[in-house]
Chains A and B, each alone.
Chain A
Amino acid sequence: MRTLIAITSALFISLAATAAQAHAFLDHANPLVGSTVGTAPHELSLSFTQNLEPSFSTVEVTGPNGARIDQGKPQISGNTMRVGLKPSGPGTYHVHWHALSVDTHTTQGSFTFHVGGP
């Protein structure tokens, strides 16, 4: 085990200058994951724990009738992804996202939020 400890120490020292990045976890969303809001939002924003690579990160939003209501390619700045939403009515909205952090780690996820009464 002393060997492993020595190697580990050497690795950390030699690679300490490497800029560390990681998987981009969804930190929070607006509207909140699983929340119920009174009126249909005009925009969905997703904030991640890491900066995103714009070319390979995307989001799809479908409205209560199952039709896609996001307005195409999201705007990505740093760790935040925003996409406009077409007007839609009350019901359950489904969000499905893919994210590529700037060091090429991929993550994905999906959630719902609700518009109208609980």
Chain B
Amino acid sequence: MPRHWRCSRAFALAILFVCLPYSAAFAHCFVGARFFPATLAIDDPCVADEMSLPTVDWFKTGAIPSASEWDVSAEISKRITEDLGLSVGDIWSQIRPPGGPTAAGFGDLETTLQYQLLKDDTHEMAMLLGLIADWGGTGAINSGIGTPYSLLTPTYYFGKGFGDLPDDAGWLRAFAVTGQVGYQFPTTSYEVAQNAYIPQVLVYGGSIQYSMPYLKSEIQDYQLPDFINHLIPIVEAQFATPVANNFGNSPVTTGTINPGAIWVGSYFQVGLEAQIPVNRASGTGVGVLGQLHLYLDDMFPSTIGQPLLGGATAAPRKISF
């Protein structure tokens, strides 16, 4: 992307932070007693003030022969109001095919506008609507990493904790699931340079997670080592299925299943997952995905950890039973 473009973007983001007001702080993805961590492969079901820096992954692509790919990405998410948030992210990729030239460069700039539909404390349930936009022409088109066209993906996200099960369910109450489903369509249906149709794709995924912090504070404190009490073992899955305008392209669903764990602290979390491709078209062998994720609302509760609008007059509500 042109250098002046990046500078303009930096200036815009700088203005965004300078203009932040002071206001009452609330949460990242807390829903009642449940905390949904930021997941690595898919998104969590809340708007929040947070930053993933960096997310790093390595895997063997589904190309024949397989290429080795490294990705390093960053994303910052900011609440505009209590229920409306905006994320901005970008990715740098290096693709090294066996015996071929290495391609490297930035992917298209990605923005996501999200609206919090629901947070039900009693049932530990959250719902979110989002519009993901991958802006064509902002990445390394010549390397084949960026695209000249944009992609738009309206997406629905949800999360559900099982803490509302009867007490007899015991340790099962620490389970939670999250998921998302989106429909991705390009701003052009045919790419002349590649002589190819650009498909519309159903993108979807989910996670099942077991919260050791929830087990300790809500169900039973087994006095396990502190490190264990901060862990959330998780299995994520992400898939993409071409559903329209796919003439001449592979109709195969691609995706990965990612078992791993997230360590949750007060100000940040660290996640590490294996990436297991679901078929040959998704890759070969097992890849690795890792992420450092920062809770900006906890790190900077009176500045950038606040919604841009609407939080300043929200005084804490006195609790009474």
Contacts and interface: CB of A to CB of B under 8 A. Distances in A.
A109 to B, nearest CB: 4
A29 B298 contact: no
Given A8-B51, A33-B220, A104 B321 contact: no
A88 interface: no
A5 interface: yes
Contacts of A10: 14
Contacts of A111: 217-219
A4 interface: yes
Contacts of A92: 167
A81 interface: no
B273 to A, nearest CB: 21
A33 B216 CA distance: 7
Contacts of B213: 25
Interface in B211-254: 213, 216-221, 223
A60 B72 CA distance: 47
B92 interface: yes
B24 A49 contact: no
B303 interface: yes
Interface in B84-99: 88-92
Nearest to B88: A4
B14 A7 contact: yes
Contacts of B195: none
Contacts of B316: 53, 56, 100, 104, 106
Query: Interface SS of chain A: helix, strand, loop or mixed?
Result: mixed
A6 B53 CA distance: 12
B303 A15 contact: yes
Nearest to B217: A26
Interface in A61-114: 68, 92, 96, 98, 100, 103-112
Contacts of A13: none
Contact of B90 (A1, A28, A49, A108): A1
Interface in A23-58: 23, 25-26, 28-29, 32-35, 49-50, 53, 55-58
Interface stretch (B25-33, B149-157, B184-192, B198-206): B25-33
Contacts of A29: 221
B57 interface: no
Given A1-B74, A21-B298, A105 B25 contact: yes
Given A1-B73, A11-B304, A22 B267 contact: yes
B31 to A, nearest CB: 10
A23 B266 contact: yes
Given A20-B300, A33-B217, A103-B301, 19 more contacts: A1-B90, A3-B7, A4-B88, A4-B90, A6-B10, A15-B299, A18-B300, A23-B27, A33-B216, A34-B220, A35-B220, A50-B266, A92-B167, A96-B321, A98-B319, A105-B297, A105-B301, A107-B33, A110-B218
Q: Report the 4 A-B pairs with minimum CB-CB distance, sorted nearest first.
A: A34-B220, A22-B298, A103-B301, A22-B266
